[in-house]
C-alpha cells in the first residue's frame, strides 16, 4: 500500500524522479548519467538540479530506515547517495571543462582575456571566472552577484592564467567528492593524461561551444568514460557488488560514523561552498577556416590547483589569501543570533549564563581530506553580520568550505513530553539546549508547531513525513535526530558522564510500546533514565483522556513510573514493571509499586492503574497513527538523549 501511495503521488506531481526505495530505479538513473556526457553548462545544470532533488528524497528515506535501525539498508542507501554525488561532480566538471576549452568564444572582449559565468540551478549556485589575460595590477574583485557571492583574488593568483570556480550545494558531500576527485586524478596520472597531450582535433569554422569536432568517436569517448569510472571505482576500494552492482553492498562498520574536530563533531550549516582554482587547457589555434584544438585531460574534466601559499603561515600567507563574502540562506538558524527575540528560551539562558555573555562565534572551516575532518586551519577573520546575514572570511585553502557547528549542538534534551490532543493526534515536545520543539503527530504525517521563528516559518504547520520534517529542521541547523556517535560528545546533566544510548533493537521496541498508549496517555521524561544504562529505560505515563487539560496539572503521584528492561528469556526480549521512583526523589527507588508484577507490555503494566475507557481508546487507535508516533520517536530518540 505504501509503495502504491508513493507511486500515485509521483504520478499526480508528474515526477520523473526515481523512487529512493527502488534500488533498480536509482541504479539505472546513475548508470545512465555516468555513461553519458553533457558539455553544455545549462543542460548539465538541469541534470545536477534533478539529481540534487533525488538526493533530498534519498536523505529522507535514509533518515527513515535509520530510525528503524535497518543498518544493512542504511549502508545500501549511503552507497547510492555517494554515486549520485558522483553524477553531480561529473556533470559540473565536464561542463566546466567545455567552458574553459572554448572560453575565448564566450568572451565579449577576447582581448581582455576574461570571462565570468554565473548560474543558479535550483539550490545549486555556480560561478566561474576565466583569466587568460593575466594583467591584474592589484587584487581582483569578482562580484558574482547573481549567486550572492563575492571573491577577492590576490594579485599573485590574479596574474596567472587560471580559472576560479565556486559551486554552492545545499547538501554536504565534501568527503565523498574529495574521494572521487582523488580517485579520478590518480587514474589520470597513472596513464599520464594530466601531463601529456592525448590528441589534436580539427574542426571547421567555430562551432566549439557544444564541444564538437573532437578527434575521437562517440564510442571511443564512451569507452574512455567507462574506463575512468571503473578505475575510479577500483581506486576507492569498490569491487563487484559495490556501488549498486549485483552483489551485496558493503555495510559500514559504523553507519553513523561522522567526522570530529577536537571534542566536537562538526557539520556544515546551510550548505557547502567549493572554491577551486583550475588549470586552463591548451588554447586553440586558427588556421585558415579551421580551428585546431588540442584534446587533453582538461578538455574532458578539470584539473584542480592548490593555493600557492596554502602551506605558509604568517603575514605573507595572509596577504595572499582569498577574501570571500556570501549571504547565508534565510532558512538557516545562525549560531550567533542577533540581539533580541531569537526564539531562545531567555529565562533558561538567564539562569545558565550572564546576561552580557556573547553568543557563540561563527566558525568557517574547510574539508581536510587527508585528516577526514572539517578544519579551521588556513581560514581567518571569519565574521557574520546578522542584519545582512553576510559571512566574510579569508582563506588560503581552495577546496570545500562551510560555516560549521557541532552536530550535537542541541543535545542533550532537557526534557520531553508526548501529550494526546485527540485519539489520533498527539504532540511531542522536546526541550533542547536552545529551543523547545513541538511536533504534532497524526496518522502518516507530522507538523511542526514550534519554534515559531522566521527561519522556520515556511515549514510551520506543513504536513510532512516524520523523516522529512527532521531533515528539513537539520537543513536549517536544528538537528534533533541524534545518532549513537553524538553521545561521545554530550554529557548528561543527571549522571555527569557521557550520554549512554539505548541498545538499538531495545530502543525501537520501547517506542513501539510507548506509541501503543499515545491516543489516551501522556508520556514524559524521567531524570532517572540515563543512569539505567543501555539495557534499561525509565519514563512516566499518565492517563490523559481530557484533551483540553494540561497533564502537568495535578499531583505528581498521578504519573506512573515505568521501568523497561532487556530480558533475553522473555518472548519479545523485554519486560516492563511499574516502580516507586518519583521525579522529586533525591535517590532512585527501583522497587516495584505496590501489588505490581512484571509484564511484557507497558499497556498491560499500566492497565491496573487506568480506567477501562482509556485502555479501550488506546486499543482502538489506528495502526498507522501508532506507527507514525513510533517512527517519530525513533528518529528523535528521547530515551537515549535525555
Q: How large is the C-alpha radius of gyration of the chain?
A: 28
Counted domains in the chain: 1
Identify the top-confidence range among 182-196, 240-254, 276-290, 366-380: 366-380
246 — pLDDT class (breaks 50, 70, 90): very low
Across 140-160, average pLDDT: 89
Does 173 map to a domain? no
Residue-level pLDDT at 251: 42
User: Which of the listed ranges 11-20, 199-208, 440-449 does the model predict with the highest average pLDDT?
Assistant: 440-449
Residue 507 lies in a domain: yes
Give the pLDDT score at 208.
Answer: 41
Report pLDDT digits (tens) over 4-55: 554 555 554 556 789 988 999 999 999 999 999 999 999 999 999 999 999 9
Q: Is residue 608 part of a domain?
A: yes
C-alpha cell at 428: 511531542
* pLDDT reported for residue 549: 87
Measured over the CA atoms of residue 473, residue 474, residue 475 and residue 477, the dihedral's sign is positive
- State what percent of residues in the chain have pLDDT above 90: 51
Percent of the chain surpassing pLDDT 70: 79
User: Under a CB-based contact definition with an 8 Å cutoff, are residues 364 and 269 in contact?
Assistant: no
3-state secondary structure of 623: helix
d(CA 20, CA 30): 12
Residue 252, pLDDT > 70, answer: no
pLDDT on residue 264: 56
**The residue to which cell 526523589 is assigned:** 585
How sure is the predictor about 205, in pLDDT bands with cuts at 50, 70 and 90?
very low
Cα separation, 321 vs 306, in Å, equals 12
Lowest-confidence pick of 180-184, 292-296, 484-488, 629-633:
292-296
Give the pLDDT confidence score for residue 521 in this predicted structure.
Answer: 96
- Neighbour order of strands in the sheet with 322-327: 140-144, 149-153, 322-327, 390-395, 379-385
Question: What are 511-523's pLDDT values in tens digits?
Answer: 999 999 999 999 9
pLDDT for residue 91: 95
pLDDT of residue 263 exceeding 60, the answer is: no
Q: Is residue 125 situated within a structural domain?
A: no
Mean pLDDT of the chain: 81
Domain membership flag for residue 30:
no
Of 120, 143, 116, which is closest to residue 131 (Cα–Cα)?
116
* CA within 13 Å, CB half, 69: 17
CA dihedral 193, 369, 178, 298 (to 10 degrees): -30
Asked if residue 564 belongs to a domain, the reply is yes
Residue 149: pLDDT above 80?
A: yes
Q: Which domain holds residue 451?
A: 415-636
Question: What is this structure's pTM?
Answer: 0.81
pLDDT confidence bin for 216, thresholds 50/70/90: very low
pLDDT of residue 538: 96
Please state whether beta strands 272-279 and 304-305 pair in parallel, antiparallel, or not at all (unpaired): antiparallel
Confidence of residue 615 (pLDDT cuts 50, 70, 90): very high
Q: Evaluate whether residue 210 is within a structural domain.
A: no
Residue 184 belongs to some domain of the structure: no
Lowest mean pLDDT among 39-43, 136-140, 264-268, 341-345: 341-345
Chain segment 95-122, per-residue pLDDT in tens: 999 999 888 877 777 667 889 999 999 9
For 322-334, what is each residue's pLDDT tens digit? Answer: 999 999 999 999 9
pLDDT category at 253 given cuts 50, 70, 90 is very low
Amino acid at each position: 500500500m505504501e509503495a502504491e501511495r508513493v507511486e500515485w503521488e509521483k504520478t499526480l506531481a508528474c515526477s520523473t524522479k526515481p523512487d529512493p526505495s527502488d534500488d533498480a530505479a536509482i541504479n539505472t538513473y546513475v548508470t545512465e548519467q555516468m555513461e553519458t556526457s553533457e558539455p553544455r553548462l545549462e543542460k548539465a545544470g538541469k541534470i545536477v538540479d534533478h539529481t540534487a532533488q533525488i538526493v533530498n528524497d534519498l536523505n529522507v528515506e535514509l533518515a527513515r530506515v535509520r530510525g528503524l535501525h535497518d543498518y544493512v539498508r542504511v549502508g545500501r542507501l549511503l552507497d547510492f547517495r555517494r554515486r549520485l554525488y558522483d553524477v553531480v561532480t561529473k556533470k559540473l566538471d565536464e561542463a566546466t571543462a567545455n567552458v574553459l576549452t572554448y572560453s575565448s568564444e564566450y568572451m565579449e572582449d577576447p582581448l581582455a582575456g576574461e570571462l565570468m559565468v554565473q548560474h543558479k540551478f535550483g539550490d545549486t549556485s555556480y560561478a566561474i571566472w576565466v583569466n587568460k589575460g593575466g594583467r591584474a595590477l592589484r587584487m581582483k574583485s569578482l562580484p558574482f552577484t547573481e549567486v550572492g557571492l563575492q571573491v577577492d583574488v590576490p594579485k599573485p593568483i590574479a596574474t596567472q592564467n587560471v580559472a576560479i570556480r565556486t559551486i554552492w550545494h545545499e547538501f554536504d558531500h565534501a568527503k565523498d567528492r574529495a574521494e572521487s576527485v582523488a580517485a579520478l586524478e590518480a587514474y589520470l596520472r597513472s596513464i599520464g593524461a594530466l601531463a601529456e597531450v592525448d590528441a589534436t582535433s580539427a574542426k571547421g569554422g567555430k562551432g566549439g561551444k557544444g564541444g564538437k569536432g573532437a578527434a575521437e568517436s562517440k564510442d571511443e569517448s564512451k569507452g574512455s568514460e567507462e574506463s575512468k569510472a571503473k578505475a575510479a571505482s577500483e581506486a576507492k576500494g569498490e569491487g563487484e557488488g559495490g556501488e549498486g552492482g549485483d552483489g551485496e553492498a558493503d555495510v559500514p562498520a559504523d553507519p553513523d560514523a561522522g567526522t570530529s574536530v577536537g571534542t566536537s563533531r562538526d557539520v556544515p550549516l546551510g550548505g557547502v561552498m567549493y572554491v577551486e582554482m583550475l588549470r586552463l587547457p591548451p588554447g586553440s589555434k586558427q588556421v585558415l577556416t579551421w580551428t585546431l584544438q588540442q584534446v587533453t585531460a582538461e578538455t574532458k574534466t578539470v584539473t584542480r590547483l592548490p593555493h600557492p601559499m596554502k602551506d605558509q603561515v604568517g603575514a605573507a600567507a595572509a596577504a595572499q589569501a582569498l577574501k570571500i563574502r556570501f549571504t547565508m540562506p534565510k532558512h538557516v538558524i545562525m549560531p550567533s543570533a542577533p540581539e533580541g527575540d531569537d526564539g531562545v528560551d531567555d529565562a533558561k539562558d538567564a539562569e545558565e549564563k550572564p546576561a552580557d555573555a556573547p553568543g557563540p562565534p561563527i566558525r568557517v572551516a574547510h574539508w581536510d581530506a587527508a585528516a577526514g575532518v572539517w578544519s579551521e586551519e588556513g581560514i581567518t577573520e571569519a565574521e557574520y553580520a546578522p542584519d545582512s546575514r553576510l559571512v566574510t572570511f579569508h582563506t588560503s585553502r581552495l577546496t570545500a568550505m562551510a560555516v560549521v557547528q557541532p552536530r550535537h549542538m542541541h543535545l542533550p534534551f532537557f526534557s520531553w513530553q508526548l501529550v494526546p490532543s485527540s485519539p489520533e493526534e498527539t504532540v511531542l515536545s522536546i526541550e533542547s539546549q536552545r529551543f523547545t520543539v513541538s511536533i504534532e503527530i497524526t496518522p502518516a504525517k507530522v507538523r511542526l508547531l514550534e519554534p515559531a521563528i522566521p527561519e522556520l516559518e515556511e515549514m510551520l504547520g506543513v504536513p510532512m513525513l516524520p523523516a522529512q520534517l527532521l531533515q528539513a529542521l537539520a537543513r536549517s541547523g536544528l538537528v534533533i535526530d541524534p545518532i549513537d556517535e553524538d553521545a561521545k560528545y554530550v554529557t548528561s546533566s543527571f549522571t555527569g558522564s557521557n550520554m549512554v544510548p539505548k541498545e538499538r533493537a531495545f530502543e525501537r521496541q520501547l517506542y513501539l510500546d510507548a506509541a501503543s498508549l499515545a491516543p489516551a496517555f501522556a508520556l514524559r521524561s524521567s531524570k532517572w533514565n540515563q543512569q539505567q544504562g543501555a539495557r534499561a529505560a525509565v519514563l512516566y505515563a499518565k492517563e490523559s483522556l481530557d484533551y483540553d487539560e494540561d497533564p502537568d496539572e495535578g499531583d505528581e503521584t498521578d504519573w506512573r513510573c515505568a521501568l523497561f528492561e532487556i530480558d533475553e528469556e522473555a518472548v519479545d526480549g523485554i519486560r516492563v514493571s511499574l516502580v516507586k521512583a518519583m521525579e522529586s526523589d533525591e535517590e532512585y527507588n527501583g522497587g516495584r509499586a505496590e501489588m505490581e508484577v512484571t509484564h511484557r507490555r507497558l499497556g498491560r503494566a499500566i492497565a491496573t492503574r487506568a480506567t477501562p475507557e482509556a485502555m479501550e481508546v488506546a486499543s482502538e487507535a489506528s495502526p498507522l497513527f501508532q506507527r507514525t508516533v513510533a517512527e517519530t520517536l525513533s528518529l528523535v530518540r528521547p530515551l537515549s538523549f535525555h
